[in-house]
Structure 1
Amino acid sequence: LFIWWELRTDAPMLELRMFKNLIFTLAIGTRFLGFLGTTAVRFMMPIYLLSVRDIGEAAVGGVLFLTSLGLGVAAQTSGRLGDRFGERLFAVIGFSVLVLTSVAFITFTIDTAMWVVMAVLLANGLAMGLWNVPNNSIIMGSVSRESFGIIGALTNLTRNVGNVAGQAIASAVVVGVMAADGFDIPLGEIAGNRAASDSFMSGWRLAYILVTAFSLLGLLLSILTKPQHTNQGGSN
């Protein structure tokens, strides 16, 4: 009913016909898949470090900060260089690194060296920073300047939906695997229980197999996306 009304009213809340623009649609789809693939880290990594690896809260905060550090550094770099060498290049590089880090997460065990965990988290943050800013530029560059307001809101909505969907999928997979193994307990209570930790890691691996699939699809869409700037400010 919403779609029917929006296509017929003279003042739609969301101009659905903009999705006829292939570049815009591909870029929005890429954005959704990117956040779908990266949010699992924010949900599962604290549980892995606190409950499975039994690391203190302060140390966990320092380890998780590496993702934000990588994101900040890469976002600053990709924004400037994307204007010079092309946004698609950095979007593709970012998703390629995201795929590699997703595969690396699949290989994690209870005994994975902490320096490996830290390196993968840093690379995951770099990946997100590399694709996020160019993707936003591609989206804004594919629409008219008059649409900037609604498109800006739509990009934020896409990010939020991707984050929520990613966390829901990851949690459902992990909890489902643990329940199938007979561990119907809160995730925060697996500390000190080796069997429960092993079950969590089985769910972790399955969840990251799905994350890798989402990231590969996002990589494909980013390769297919050829930026076209219909305004003079779209790449800023």
Structure 2
Amino acid sequence: MNERRKWWALAAVGSGVLVSTIDGSIVNIALNTLVQAFGSNLNIVEWVVLGYLLTLACSLLIMGRLGDMYGKRRIYLIGFGLFTVASLLCATAPSITALIAFRVLQGIGAAMIQAVGPALLVTAFPAHERGLALGAIGSFVAAGILIGPALGGILLRYVGWEAIFFVNLPIGIIGWWLTIRAIAPDQTTRPGQRFDLVGAFLMAAALFFLLLGLTEGPIWGWRDARVIGLFVAALMGGVLFVFWELRYPQPMLQLRIFRRLAFSLNLLAALVLFLGISFNLLLTPLFFQLVYQFDLQRTGFMLMSLPIALSLTSPISGRLSDRFGSRVLTIAGLIVTGLALLGLSFSTPTTPLPQMVGFLVLLGIGVGLFQSPNNSTILGNAPPEALGVASGLLAVVRTVGQTGGIALAGAVWASQVFALNGAPVTPITAAPPTILAGGYDVAMRVAALIATLAIVPSLFGGRALQRQLVPVKQPVAD
């Protein structure tokens, strides 16, 4: 029964990760439809996406801490229920303001799901199968990225915008039932615990200002007083958060967790990698549309190659890490990722399409090789009483890395396009395809360099883990 139960637990957590990942991308292609449906403008409708993502990112650590305090299964069930109810409210929203508010509610539910989901799997699977479980979750994430835009396009075309939210309801109900059936009830929590309300506020505020600044910087301009103010506020919030956490007796984030080098260095490696691969997330779709002149449907079809390769590689990599350790796999994954990004940087308007798709497949393999073993190392080195926070940190690192990487990619690409063109061009997409391709090439070389730099913390993190595993020699009795 226990053997079967862990697979049911994987299905329960996987369904939550899948539906929350789909919802992070499915709405992106509906923005113009929502503008017309509500008679609004794009600047307001963008908050349907932004409100969800900012709420999700700012709530992850809070939900991880609540999971550690009051039970991960309980938080997961509440989150799944909240997400499902919020989806129904989104589908029936009477105005754009109501839709944005319900998306914020949906983001809170998604944060509960994503923060404690991986931690639930760590406790449901034995330690020697942790990589396999987390690799399978990587496949669910890739499937969500793959399904979201394609499903959204079909529903928008044949049903209507409401369907992109209604589709969450059956998955939510099934996932909630699976969680009750498969996840063991929470053990009795330790009495006397207090939630760090001030620390939670400071952390959420710092993340909100940082991510909003990174998101709006390319639009408002990096020298805009509003952007500078957001970054200053984020820095002040971060400093105050650390100051408070060091002094509060029951902090939301035990900072001493970062003394475990295998934990903190591999977390840093993940951050650096997400910074690098985010260049591809932003620029490769633009290359297909502006340089190859593909329509949206054909572009989406070409981009499917990466998540397919990632979904196939992640469980294999996780299983291999259970048998042979994570160090070699993470380094190999980063090398393959760097080579794939470098290969993409040689693309021109005349580059054969199979060459680009091949490098996208290689990129998916590289990320799949790295991610499962790296996540297994991070969660395996977190204290049992802080698994929820560690799981939340993983999701925060992914979000911050992707947001920062997209902002950096846009800045590098734009500056290079302007330099090659000899003058700024407005809009930038009006530049000749050869100029746009030249900017893409330079940006992807920067991405390859960033991804390769992740080898340094990953290598030292692997060494720290190896030292932890060396048994201490006992003195020989006389």
Matches within 5 A, 1:1-236: 1-180=240-419, 181=421, 182-187=423-428, 189-190=429-430, 196-226=432-462, 227=465
Q: Deviations over 1:159-213 (max 9, x none)?
A: 00000011000001111222343242234x43xx5xx322222222221222122
Whole-angstrom CA distance in 1 between matches of 2:410 and 2:444:
11
Whole-angstrom CA distance in 2 between matches of 1:82 and 1:198:
43
Alpha carbons of structure 1 residues 92 and 44: separation in structure 2 relative to 1, 3 Å: same
* Residue in structure 2 matched with residue 234 of structure 1 by the alignment: none
What residue ranges of structure 2 are gaps of 5+ in the alignment? 1-239, 469-478
Moved more, 139-148 or 208-217: 208-217
Whole-angstrom CA distance in 2 between matches of 1:61 and 1:49:
9
Name the TM-score, length of structure 2 as normaliser: 0.45
Whole-angstrom CA distance in 2 between matches of 1:155 and 1:186:
36
Q: Which amino acid aligns with 1:213?
A: L
Contact 1:101–1:124 (Cα < 8 Å) also in 2: yes
- How many residue pairs align between the two structures? 225
* Residue in structure 1 matched with residue 107 of structure 2 by the alignment: none
Contact 2:348–2:438 (Cα < 8 Å) also in 1: no
Q: Deviations over 1:8-67 (max 9, x none)?
A: 111212112211221111101100011111111111111100111112322211110000
Q: Give the CA deviation at 1:228.
A: 6.2
Whole-angstrom CA distance in 1 between matches of 2:427 and 2:385:
48
Task: Compare relative contact order (CA 8 Å, sep 6+) and give the higher one, 1 or 2.
Answer: 1
Whole-angstrom CA distance in 1 between matches of 2:442 and 2:289:
20
Contact 1:50–1:57 (Cα < 8 Å) also in 2: yes
Q: Which amino acid aligns with 2:307?
A: S
Q: Deviations over 1:120-148 (max 9, x none)?
A: 00111111111011110010111211110
Q: What stretches of structure 1 move > 4 A for 4+ residues in a row? A: none
Whole-angstrom CA distance in 2 between matches of 1:148 and 1:94:
25
Name the TM-score, length of structure 1 as normaliser: 0.90
Q: Give the CA deviation at 1:7.
A: 0.7
Whole-angstrom CA distance in 1 between matches of 2:314 and 2:467:
20
Whole-angstrom CA distance in 2 between matches of 1:204 and 1:222:
27
Whole-angstrom CA distance in 2 between matches of 1:100 and 1:209:
10
Q: Which amino acid aligns with 1:221?
A: P
Q: Percent identity, please.
A: 29
What is the root-mean-square deviation of aligned Cα atoms in Å? 1.7
- Work out which of the two has the higher radius of gyration on C-alpha atoms and give 1 or 2: 2
Q: Which amino acid aligns with 1:17?
A: R
Q: Give the CA deviation at 1:156.
A: 0.2
Q: Which amino acid aligns with 1:184?
A: V
Q: Which amino acid aligns with 1:210?
A: V
Q: Give the CA deviation at 1:229.
A: 11
Whole-angstrom CA distance in 2 between matches of 1:206 and 1:101:
14
